[in-house]
Amino acid sequence: MSTEHLGDMRTEYSKALVAVGEQDPNVVVLGADTTDSLKTSNFGKKFPERFFNVGIAEANLVSVAAGLAYSGKTAFASTYAIFLPGRCVDQIRNAIAYPSPGDKKGLNVKLVVSHGGLSVGADGGSHQQIEDIAIMRVIPNMRVLVPADSTTVSKLTWIISQQYGPFYMRMARSKTPIIHNDSQEFQIGKGIVLRDGSDCTIAACGITVKMALDAANMLQQDGISCRVIDCFSIKPIDKDLLEKSARETGSIVTCEEHNIIGGFGSAVSEVVSESYPVPIKRIGAQDKFGESARDNEIPQLLEKHGLTSINIAKAVKEVRSKKT
Amino acid sequence: MGLNYYQIKKQVLKARKLVIKATAAAGSGHPGGSFSMAEILGCLFYKYLKYDPKNPGWEDRDKLILSKGHASPGLFSNMAVAGYFDPKDIVTLRQFGSKLQGHPDLKCPGVEFCGGSLGIGLSYSIGNALAARLDGKNNRIYTIIGDGESDEGQVWEAAMTAAKYKIDNITAFLDRNFIQQDSYTEKIMPLDEELIGNDLSEMWKDASRWKTGDKWRSFGWNVIEVDGHRTEQISDAIRRANETKGLPSIIIARTVKGKGVEHMEDNPQWHGKAPQQDIVPIIEDELESQFMIAPSIIAGDMSNLGKEVERCNEGRADYIHLDVMDGQFVPNKTFDHAEIQKLRPLSLLPFDTHLMINDPVKHVRNYIDAGSDIITVHAEVCDESSFGEICDQLRSNQVGIGLAINPDTDLPQWSYKFAEMLDQIIVMSVVPGKSGQKFIESTHEKIQRITKDLHDHKFDGYIEVDGGVNLENIGACFADGGRAFVGGSAIIGQSDVRMIIKEFRNQVLDSRRRLLIKKAHDLGGTDLVNKWIDLHVVGKKKDGLVQITKELGFQ
């Protein structure tokens, strides 16, 4: 994939929401004064009675969504990442994840956010959520998805609208390279092997999937064969695939646009250290906050936090050298 | 369920006792905030809320959202009384493996909201209300928030949201008990005005300080302010809120934390503390001995009964006693149902209609239609069959059932068959017919005997003493077993009705304190007496108790 086809996650989310809403009259959408940005306002134009903009009141947003879900609705609540896990962990935990009617686990609320990670850029460190994967995956009953491209967003929007229970899905602000074909199948809890290899596994999520693929291409020129996995489903995580990859490739590099503490890399480490321990190297923010960067400078910002294909390739070499 | 005033009061009492049982068994929990909202829950569970305890998931049910989740003992106790589960299970509160979690939880079928983290419930209620609107359902959402909880900013986010969406299928309550965990609300985070010093009367008795209603009004809500321990006020407020269309309604209920147990009342210590087991029997007796003062308006200006009703309102009577005399059963004539119907719009207070008339079975319908809350007929002019008919009529119209006996009459044998369904027995302590007679002393012995007899027959209503009751004898009547007291010339004949009713209450409270100290002494001697007295830390209650103890020779 040398010439980049870009896709916009928010556009695909919005389109999928409208389509889901057409098919299922039980779907409601909530926003908090970011509905034009998230493009959920398109749903509002089509289904005004099923669309609620509660203003800049995220705790309220989450809890109203919980109430709608308790009364049988499938509620999508959307705003920027920094304002949902970042601001409302209590309401997410106590109003959505904890209440479990009958045999069900949690309430049927889908928290779909944009502006995840450092690539938010210009808005600066205050708006760059690099803690959300950690925050959300530690909450029982919550499932965490970090799609790599707009195709994935579209497919996952459909899937989570039909699967009962709480989901957190994190989108990037900027347009992202298309990774998957429309025919690609997605399953919650299953990773997708984008490229097979035998010397090392690069497990990635979100915008880092493209970097992982580029790194694998570079390494191939050095004779190193990498397996690349798109781990869009961080919780539940594909334990079988990760264990198998550890066994077959002997080392793993993880990539995420998130703090390496508690995030995706931690999740992979937890699984692998318990099932088939191999050397692991985590690429991501090294416990440091981000800062402003204009759109053309975002690669520099990511680079500052180690998020480049070159750095991933280096990490592969490093982690391979630790193999016993 | 649509129970009447008396039945609601009985259920509230049962629930309060279960709160004590539950928290004492658990060794922790929140009785204070459970008691401040006890009458609110009573009006909901036994009058307004639509639910089916055998089918908690019933689609068209109303939903009760207890946002101030720490008061879960209050919720669970009412659910037990209402039939969601066996009241015996209440002792599993907070126990490992119990569905009765420390805070309300969907683990207990019938609970609609996982409470505990404050500030969430109103938003959650809005979600439920919006869903009901989308589904075209007529069910209501009843939401109770706390005043301490109102420190949470999210409450005000929700307040704005409800106004924006014109949510009129929620009836919200603010349990305004003026106490939060650390101290009085007006010291921690004032909702009205900051409180300097510790004088509670500054806070809740001075209406000029109340700003909370204005806050809600300015957020676009319909605000109804009531005394949150008066069933008739709460009930009327709910009716009005439920009829209000196009904007959200909140009932601000001024309440007393720990209401019903003197040492818990207005005492921040009882926000989150359980009573000790040895104190429980004393508390139960205290809860059992609720009482009511009922002015009889015929002792006033018969040419202007409307004014007398208003004096009862202002005097904070518990209900209004209406003596209907027909000139046949008794020599005098007073008024009939037509007059009662005229007076009805003047007061929310329960109308305690005492029919001193012949053939009551022929007339009772008129008095139901006139708006009586309870109707008492005389045993002398009934038999088992006619009284049975009267009971059926009253019951099916949610009117309380009373039976009266004259000084020279004893309860007839047939009346015991009705003991369980009776809400009230009037023991006449004067010969009925006119106001201003002297109390017949032998009535004391008669009340004691009837109290015991009726207890054996599972009577759980009020014994009302009617005739010649005054400040001198009311304490003794209470000790005999009387729980409602009609005051004729001794109350309505006085210029300051409010003051005299207060004095009546103080006499009864003094009598009650004596009984409770004796109870403590019977159970645990001087040690328990002192332990119980030491719990009374607010105001000057303790000094009075020490004085009584000395008088009783227990110290």
As given in the structure block, the two tokens for residue A53 are 């903009």
Kindly state whether B421 is in contact with chain A, defined as any CB-CB distance less than 8 angstroms: no
Considering the domain architecture, whether residues B295 and B441 belong to the same structural domain is answered as yes
Question: Is the residue at B535 inside a domain?
Answer: yes
* Identified catalytic residue from A4, A22, A58, A131: A58
Number of CB pairs, chain A paired with chain B, less than 8 A apart: 98
Q: Let me know if A297 is a catalytic residue.
A: no
Give residue B208's pLDDT.
Answer: 75
Q: What is the pLDDT of residues B78-133, one digit of tens each?
A: 999 999 999 999 999 999 999 999 999 999 999 999 999 999 999 999 999 999 99
Considering the domain architecture, whether residues B459 and B533 belong to the same structural domain is answered as no
Closest residue on chain A to B132 (Cα):
A71
Query: What is the DSSP secondary structure assignment for residue A129, as one 8-state letter?
Result: B
Closest residue on chain B to A109 (Cα):
B127
Q: What is the pLDDT of residues B461-501, one digit of tens each?
A: 999 999 999 999 999 999 999 999 999 999 999 999 999 99
Considering the domain architecture, whether residues B271 and B293 belong to the same structural domain is answered as no
Is the pLDDT assigned to residue B203 strictly greater than 90? no
Q: How far is B78 from chain A (nearest CA, A)?
A: 21
Kindly state whether B113 is in contact with chain A, defined as any CB-CB distance less than 8 angstroms: yes
Between positions 44 and 63 of A, the ones with CB within 8 A of B are: 49-50, 52, 54-55, 57, 59-60, 62-63
Quickly name the fold that domain A6-177 has.
Rossmann fold (3.40.50)
Considering the domain architecture, whether residues B365 and B263 belong to the same structural domain is answered as no
Q: How far is A3 from chain B (nearest CA, A)?
A: 46
| Secondary structure of chain A as H, E, C letters | CCCCCEECHHHHHHHHHHHHHHHCCCEEEEECCCHHHHCCHHHHHHCHHHEEECCCCHHHHHHHHHHHHHCCCEEEEEEEHHHCHHHHHHHHHHHHHCCCCCCCCCCCEEEEEECECHHHHHHCHHHCECCHHHHHHCCCCCEEECCCCHHHHHHHHHHHHHCCCCEEEECCCCCEECCCCCCCCCCCCCCEEEECCCCEEEEECCCHHHHHHHHHHHHHHCCCCEEEEECCEEECCCHHHHHHHHHHHCCEEEEEEEECCCCHHHHHHHHHHHHCCCCEEEEEECCCCCCCCCHHHHHHHHHHCCCCHHHHHHHHHHHHHCCC
Are B493 and B300 contacting, i.e. CB atoms less than 8 angstroms apart?
yes
Question: Is the residue at B284 inside a domain?
Answer: no
Considering the domain architecture, whether residues B73 and B191 belong to the same structural domain is answered as yes
Q: How far is A79 from chain B (nearest CA, A)?
A: 16
Measured between beta carbons, which residues in chain B are less than 8 angstroms from residue A52? Answer: 130, 165
Give residue B204's pLDDT.
Answer: 65
Quick one: CA dihedral B218, B219, B220, B221, positive or negative? negative
Cβ distance B114 to A70 less than 8 Å, yes or no, reads: no
pLDDT band, very low/low/confident/very high, at B195 (cuts 50, 70, 90): confident
Considering the domain architecture, whether residues B194 and B337 belong to the same structural domain is answered as no
Question: Is the residue at B172 inside a domain?
Answer: yes
Give residue B232's pLDDT.
Answer: 95
Work out the average pLDDT over B142-155. Answer: 98
Helices then strands, counting H and E runs in chain B, come out as 19, 13
Give residue B270's pLDDT.
Answer: 86
Chain position carrying tokens 């480049």: A308
Using only C-alpha atoms, chain B has a radius of gyration, in whole angstroms, of 24
Intervals of CATH 3.40.50.970 along chain A: 6-177
Cβ distance B153 to A59 less than 8 Å, yes or no, reads: yes
Question: Is the residue at B506 inside a domain?
Answer: no
Give residue A15's pLDDT.
Answer: 98
Phi-psi region at B442: left, alpha or beta (left = phi > 0; alpha = psi -120 to 50): alpha
Kindly state whether B120 is in contact with chain A, defined as any CB-CB distance less than 8 angstroms: yes
* CATH no., domain A192-321: 3.40.50.920
Given A67, A98, A101, which is nearest B127 (Cβ)?
A67
Considering the domain architecture, whether residues B43 and B180 belong to the same structural domain is answered as yes
For testing the chain A interface, which of B112, B126, B157 should be mutated: the one with the most A CBs within 10 Å? B157
| Residue B294 half-sphere exposure toward CB, CA atoms < 13 A | 29
Are A69 and A96 contacting, i.e. CB atoms less than 8 angstroms apart?
yes
Give residue A1's pLDDT.
Answer: 43
Give residue B4's pLDDT.
Answer: 86
Q: What is the pLDDT of residues B503-521, one digit of tens each?
A: 999 999 999 999 999 999 9
Range of the domain at B204: 5-277
β-strand partners of A143? A167
As given in the structure block, the two tokens for residue B125 are 């209620």
Are A254 and A271 contacting, i.e. CB atoms less than 8 angstroms apart?
no
pLDDT band, very low/low/confident/very high, at B1 (cuts 50, 70, 90): low
Give residue B527's pLDDT.
Answer: 96
Question: Is the residue at B500 inside a domain?
Answer: no
pLDDT band, very low/low/confident/very high, at B256 (cuts 50, 70, 90): very high
Mean pLDDT, chain B, integer: 95
Cβ distance B117 to A63 less than 8 Å, yes or no, reads: no
Give residue B271's pLDDT.
Answer: 83
The structure's pTM equals 0.95
Measured between beta carbons, which residues in chain B are less than 8 angstroms from residue A66? Answer: 120, 123-124, 127
Are B276 and B53 contacting, i.e. CB atoms less than 8 angstroms apart?
no
Question: Is the residue at B239 inside a domain?
Answer: yes
Is the pLDDT assigned to residue B449 strictly greater than 60? yes
Considering the domain architecture, whether residues B294 and B271 belong to the same structural domain is answered as no
Last residue of a domain, one of B277, B304, B322: B277
Last residue of a domain, one of B223, B250, B277: B277
Considering the domain architecture, whether residues B270 and B244 belong to the same structural domain is answered as yes
What value of ipTM does the predicted structure carry?
A: 0.96
Closest residue on chain A to B58 (Cα):
A71
Measured between beta carbons, which residues in chain A are less than 8 angstroms from residue B119? Answer: 59
Closest residue on chain B to A56 (Cα):
B157
Cβ distance A94 to B161 less than 8 Å, yes or no, reads: no
Give residue B202's pLDDT.
Answer: 63
Considering the domain architecture, whether residues B165 and B308 belong to the same structural domain is answered as no
- Alpha helices of B165-301 — where are they, by DSSP H? 185-188, 200-204, 212-218, 231-243, 280-288
Pairing of strands B462-466, B484-487: parallel
Considering the domain architecture, whether residues B30 and B9 belong to the same structural domain is answered as yes
Intervals of CATH 3.40.50.920 along chain A: 192-321
Cβ distance A67 to B132 less than 8 Å, yes or no, reads: no
Alpha carbon B404 to chain centroid, angstroms: 23
Q: How far is B531 from chain A (nearest CA, A)?
A: 40
Given A52, A95, A101, which is nearest B124 (Cβ)?
A95
Cβ distance A99 to B126 less than 8 Å, yes or no, reads: no
Question: Is the residue at B501 inside a domain?
Answer: no
Here the CATH number for the domain that contains residue B471 is: 3.20.20.70
Measured between beta carbons, which residues in chain A are less than 8 angstroms from residue B128? Answer: 67-68, 70-71
Considering the domain architecture, whether residues B152 and B298 belong to the same structural domain is answered as no
Given a cut of 50, the residues of chain A with pLDDT beneath it are 1-2
Closest residue on chain B to A68 (Cα):
B127
Cβ distance B113 to A99 less than 8 Å, yes or no, reads: yes
Measured between beta carbons, which residues in chain A are less than 8 angstroms from residue B126? Answer: 64, 67
Domains in chain B: how many in total? 3
